[in-house]
Amino acid sequence: MTTEYKSHISSQFNAELEDVRQRVLAMGGLVEQQLVDATRALMELDADLSDQVINNDDKVDQLEIMIDEECSRILARRQPTASDLRLVYAVIKTITDLERIGDEAQKVAMMARELASQERLREHMMETQHLSRQVSQMVRDALDAFARMDAESALAVVREDVVIDREYESLMRQCITYMMEEPRTIRRVMDLIWCVRALERIGDHAKNIAEYVIYFVKGKDVRHSTLEEKEREVHRQ
C-alpha cells in the first residue's frame, strides 16, 4: 500500500514537506554511495578510496544537521498533527539511522585501510563481499520504501534483515574457526570481523528506516514487534 502525502491549504507547507523529503533522499543517496565505496575499498584493499570515504563522512553529518534543523522549524512554525506529525517524526528518525549507516561505512573504510597495509587475507573475502551486496541492496530497498512511503516494500526490508542476520552469524562462525586453525591470521581476521559487524549493523539501521515507513503509513510504532506482528499490522485494513 502506497500512501500519498496530504495536500494542504498552504502550498508553502506542501513545499516544505516535499523539500524535507527530497533532502532525506539526497542524504540517502550519499550514504548509499559511501557504503558502496567502502566495501569496494575493502575488496580491493584500496587505501585511497578508503580515505575518500572517511573524508566524505563530514558531508553526511552536515546533511543530518541541516535536515534536523528544518524539521525543528516545521514543528515550531506549523505545529503539525496526525500524519503530518508522523512524517516529520519519521524523517527525524530516518536521518539519524542514515547518519549511523554513514558511520558504519566509515568503519569499514578504516578497516580496509588497515588491511591494505597487511598481507592480503584471502579467506572469507568472497563471503564478505556477498554480505556487503545484500546489505547495500537492503539500504537501497529501505530508501525506495521511504521515497514511496510503501508499507509492503518496507515489510520486505524487515524480512531481508532476517536473512542478513543469518548470513552474518554464519560468517562470524567461519572467521572464528579460521583464526583457531591459523593463529597467524588473527589480526587480519579480527579487522575483517569488525567490517562484517559493521555491515550487520547497517542492515539493522536499514530495517529501522523501514519500520518508520510502516509507522507513517499505519500510525503504529512497530519497532519492538515480532515479524509476525509487523506483517499483521501492514496487512490490516
What domain count does the chain have?
1
pLDDT tens-digit map of 44-55: 999 999 999 999
Q: Is residue 8 over pLDDT 90?
A: no
Query: What's the angle, vertex CA 145, arms to CA 144 and CA 148, rounded to 5?
Result: 85
In a domain, 199, yes or no: yes
| Residue-range definition of the domain harbouring residue 90 | 11-235
Average predicted confidence (pLDDT) for the chain:
91
In a domain, 170, yes or no: yes
Q: Is residue 9 over pLDDT 70?
A: no
Q: Please state, in angstroms and as integers, the Cα–Cα distance from residue 150 to each residue in 63, 142, 154, 215, following that order.
A: 24, 10, 6, 11
**pTM for the model:** 0.91
> From CA 172, how far away is CA 22, in angstroms rounded?
37
* Phi, psi angles (nearest 5°) of residue 121: -95, 120
Q: Is residue 74 over pLDDT 60?
A: yes
Amino acid at 221: D
The closest of 31, 53, 57, 28 to 42, measured between CA atoms, is: 53
In a domain, 59, yes or no: yes
In a domain, 134, yes or no: yes
- Decide if 53 contacts 109 (C-beta within 8 A): yes
The closest of 55, 162, 41 to 108, measured between CA atoms, is: 41
Burial string for 74-83 (b: 16+ CB within 10 Å, else e) reads: beeebebeeb
In a domain, 35, yes or no: yes
pLDDT (mean) for 56-64: 96
**DSSP label at residue 150:** B
Q: Please state, in angstroms and as integers, the Cα–Cα distance from residue 212 to each residue in 46, 120, 223, following that order.
A: 35, 40, 8
In a domain, 117, yes or no: yes
**Cell triple for residue 180?**
583457531
In a domain, 221, yes or no: yes
Q: Please state, in angstroms and as integers, the Cα–Cα distance from residue 106 to each residue in 53, 129, 185, following that order.
A: 6, 16, 23
pLDDT (mean) for 54-67: 96
Q: Is residue 59 over pLDDT 60?
A: yes
* Phi, psi angles (nearest 5°) of residue 33: -65, -35
**Cell triple for residue 141?**
530497498
Report the length, in residues, of the chain: 237
pLDDT (mean) for 61-70: 96
Q: Is residue 5 over pLDDT 70?
A: no
In a domain, 5, yes or no: no
Burial string for 123-153 (b: 16+ CB within 10 Å, else e) reads: bbeebbeebbebbbebbbbbbbbbeebbbeb
> From CA 83, how far away is CA 24, in angstroms rounded?
18
Q: What is the CATH number of the domain that holds 141?
A: 1.20.58.220
Confidence grade of residue 7 (pLDDT, cut at 50, 70, 90): low
Residue given cell 516544505 in the structure block? 16
Residue given cell 524480512 in the structure block? 159
